[in-house]
Amino acid sequence: MAISRQETKRADALALGADSYVATTDETDWATHYAGSLDLIISTVSTAEMPLNAYLGLLRTGGRFCQIGLPENPLPPLETFGLIERKISIHFNDVGSIPEVEELLAFVVEKKIQPWVETRKIGDINKVLVEMEAGKARFRYVFVNEV
């Protein structure tokens, strides 16, 4: 399952292998409808306004929530009683140390993983940063030198 705020990423998520897609702004009952349906959530959300407790409610008993990177502001308060009762674990990880990044890149090469990226000219960096802050990034940006 892929989860995003808007419908705009549905086709890409399904093409990348997701078996279902939830647009949280369009499906008002998503948290109730999918409650207890997941074993693992890998979150790359970069805003403190994320509906963290709703995400945690998607996990089955014994589920794991892994946050990759941290938002600039503190995360919302947790409803801890339900987490303890359902044995939910929460893990945090930053981008990774040099050995971790090397291990990740070796895995990518071994498995022939091809990331989806958006190539932009290095001269457009200021424009791209504004677009990124506005949430318009479709994939990871890769900057190329202009020749």
Determine the pLDDT at residue 133.
Answer: 85
pTM as predicted:
0.76
Closest to 62 (Cα-Cα) out of 40, 95, 33, 35: 40
Q: What pLDDT is attached to residue 72?
A: 76
pLDDT at residue 66, as a whole number:
93
Query: How far is residue 12's CA from residue 75's CA, in Å, rounded to a whole number?
Result: 28
> Cα(6)–Cα(26) distance, rounded to whole angstroms?
7
* Site of tokens 């207890």: 36
CB 42 within 8 A of CB 142: no
In this prediction, residue 123 carries a pLDDT of 93
Answer whether residue 44 shows pLDDT above 90. no
Q: Residue 29, CB half-sphere, CA atoms under 13 Å: how many?
A: 2
User: For 2-36, what is each residue's pLDDT tens digit?
Assistant: 999 889 889 999 998 999 999 999 999 999 999 99
What is residue 73's predicted lDDT score, i.e. its pLDDT? 80
DSSP code string of 11-53: HHHHHTT-S-EEETTT-TTHHHHTTT-EEEEEE----TTS-HH
Q: What is the mean pLDDT of the chain?
A: 90
Q: Which tens digit of pLDDT belongs to each residue from 65-82?
A: 998 877 778 888 888 998
